[in-house]
């Protein structure tokens, strides 16, 4: 079987962060004996055919180099806000579709696996069997005008539609009337670094892109409340994004800037090292697709506090010992965090929950589930 990954995010080299969870899945499907090919956009003029960790990748040109800036950066939604962005997106859709057709040529049993309904699901050639997986950011796109109409076309009845969490599946059901059953809900894979569980002492950690949707301000405010009871408690914020300047100002206004460490975007090994001595992981994001960072925290033996409107992350917190769900309020988050910090068994329970999640998200296990979807798509 030939499997064509169609996506606007795929690692540009080993260790690259954009679309990083797709690489182990592609490799695992390849290990199952299938011919896997990736079609993704060019990055600021850097296109052509490449191989990343043994998987061939074609990066298609879609605009002038100065306008090929929407993929890989988390800025895809910005394109919708300007006429020049719309022109670039139209070129992206055409180029992805041509690339998928070229990757499928010569094979009679090809399946396109489109990751995110926009742009890949829209770009997937209608004549080819396809699986479209929704990851979360694309589900939030449905709030925009005309997006539901475009999404219904992308998720046509002849396509297999899957989601990474019950939250995303529910959103599709409510907005588009397309029900996604439990057999089509599977998180993307995660390769968990080995090592001993956290020994604690490093304080509180957040990992993620610094955007409004992640609500890192709640973590900063909750940390300020905890500092009043636990002087010296550190908050480490791993990641970068447009909200960082406002968050730094908030820490200064609260008088906690000396206890907050900003690492920016760092390699996966450095993230694992940061989690290696953390006491607690705060993840106050709203309407998350799933949230692999909390699973990484659990695998390191770090309990998690998430919010009741956190979306797919609540699937993770259902695992016994994983952590606590709080209302999206700094005082409530601080109270939940204090309870876990006081619990001497919390880290061991989190590590056990992390092992169970790591087993579910093992790349070979997720690849086996995807393989059943591909065979289903070929039969449709």
Query: For residue 84, what are the CA distances in angstroms to 37, 69, 90, 91?
Result: 30, 12, 10, 11
Asked if 138 and 64 sit in the same domain, the reply is: yes
Asked if 98 and 137 sit in the same domain, the reply is: yes
Phi, psi values for residue 77, rounded to 5° = -70, -25
Asked if 142 and 7 sit in the same domain, the reply is: yes
The contacts of residue 12 (CB under 8 Å, 6+ apart) are 18, 43, 46, 52, 72
Asked if 287 and 153 sit in the same domain, the reply is: no
Per DSSP, what are the bridge partners of residue 280? Answer: 204
According to DSSP, residue 120 is labeled I
What's the pLDDT at 77? 67
pLDDT score of 127 more than 70: yes
Asked if 44 and 142 sit in the same domain, the reply is: yes
User: Is 18 among the domain residues?
Assistant: yes
Residue 140: other Cβ atoms inside 10 A: 18
User: Is 336 among the domain residues?
Assistant: yes
What's the pLDDT at 80? 66
* CATH number reported for the structural domain that contains residue 343 in this entry: 3.40.50.2000
Asked if 174 and 34 sit in the same domain, the reply is: yes
Residue owning tokens 């992308």 = 154
According to DSSP, residue 277 is labeled T
pLDDT band at 110 (very low <50, low <70, confident <90, very high): very high
What's the pLDDT at 81? 64
In terms of Cα–Cα distance, which of 370, 377, 274, 306 is closest to 36? 370
Q: Please state, in angstroms and rounded to a whole number, the distance separating the CA atoms of residues 142 and 378.
A: 28
- The token pair that represents 226 in the structure block: 């905890």
Number of domains comprising the chain: 2
Asked if 137 and 246 sit in the same domain, the reply is: no
Domain that holds residue 267: 204-360
Write the pLDDT tens digit of every residue in 208-253: 999 999 999 999 999 999 999 999 999 999 999 999 999 999 999 9
What's the pLDDT at 68? 84
What's the pLDDT at 98? 97
Write the pLDDT tens digit of every residue in 275-305: 999 999 999 999 999 988 999 999 999 999 9
Q: In 254-307, where do the E strands start and end?
A: 260-264, 280-283, 304-307
pLDDT higher at 95 or 196: 95
pLDDT band at 375 (very low <50, low <70, confident <90, very high): very high
Residue owning tokens 């509180």 = 204
Q: Please state, in angstroms and rounded to a whole number, the distance separating the CA atoms of residues 78 and 242.
A: 12
Question: Among residues of the chain, what percentage have pLDDT more than 70?
Answer: 97
Peptide bond into 143 cis (omega under 30): no
What's the pLDDT at 17? 83
DSSP string, 305-347: EEETT-BTHHHHHTSTTSEEEE-SSHHHHHHHHHHHHH-TTHH
pLDDT score of 373 more than 80: yes
User: Is 197 among the domain residues?
Assistant: no
pLDDT band at 89 (very low <50, low <70, confident <90, very high): confident
Asked if 312 and 371 sit in the same domain, the reply is: no
Asked if 328 and 372 sit in the same domain, the reply is: no
Asked if 372 and 350 sit in the same domain, the reply is: no
Asked if 184 and 225 sit in the same domain, the reply is: no
pLDDT band at 257 (very low <50, low <70, confident <90, very high): very high
Asked if 169 and 291 sit in the same domain, the reply is: no
């Amino acid at each position: 079987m030939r499997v064509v990954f169609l996506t606007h995010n795929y690692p540009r080299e080993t260790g690259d962060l954009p679309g990083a969870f797709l690489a182990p899945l592609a490799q695992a499907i390849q290990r199952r004996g299938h011919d896997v090919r990736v079609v993704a956009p060019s990055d600021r003029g850097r296109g052509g055919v490449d191989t990343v960790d043994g998987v061939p990748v074609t990066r298609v040109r879609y605009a002038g180099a100065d306008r090929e800036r929407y993929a890989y950066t988390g800025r895809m939604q910005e394109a919708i806000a300007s006429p020049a962005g719309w022109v670039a997106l139209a070129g992206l859709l055409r180029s992805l579709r041509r690339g998928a057709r070229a990757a499928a040529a010569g094979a009679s049993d090809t399946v396109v696996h489109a990751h995110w309904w926009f742009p890949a699901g829209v770009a997937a050639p209608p004549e080819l069997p396809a699986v479209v997986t929704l990851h979360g950011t694309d589900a939030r796109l449905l709030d925009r005008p005309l997006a539901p109409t475009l999404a219904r076309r992308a998720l046509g009845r002849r396509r297999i539609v899957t989601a990474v969490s019950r939250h995303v599946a529910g959103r599709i059901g409510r907005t588009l009337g397309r029900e996604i059953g439990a057999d089509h809900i599977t998180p993307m894979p995660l390769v968990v670094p080995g090592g001993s569980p956290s020994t604690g002492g490093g304080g509180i950690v957040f990992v993620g892109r610094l955007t409004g949707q992640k609500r890192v301000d709640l973590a900063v405010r909750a940390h300020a409340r905890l500092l009043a009871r636990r002087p010296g408690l550190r908050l480490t914020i791993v990641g970068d994004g447009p909200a960082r300047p406002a968050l730094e100002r908030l820490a200064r206004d609260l008088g906690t800037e000396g206890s907050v460490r900003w690492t920016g975007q760092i390699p996966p090994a450095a993230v694992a090292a940061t989690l290696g001595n953390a006491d607690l992981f705060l993840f106050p994001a709203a309407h998350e697709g799933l949230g692999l960072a909390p699973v990484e925290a659990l695998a390191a033996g770090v309990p998690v506090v998430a919010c009741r409107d956190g979306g797919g992350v609540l699937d993770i917190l259902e695992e016994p010992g994983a952590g606590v769900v709080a209302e999206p309020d700094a005082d409530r988050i601080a109270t939940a965090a204090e309870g876990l910090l006081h619990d001497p068994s919390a880290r061991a329970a989190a590590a056990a929950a992390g092992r169970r999640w790591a087993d579910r998200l093992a790349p070979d296990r997720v690849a086996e589930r995807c393989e059943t979807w591909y065979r289903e798509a070929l039969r449709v």
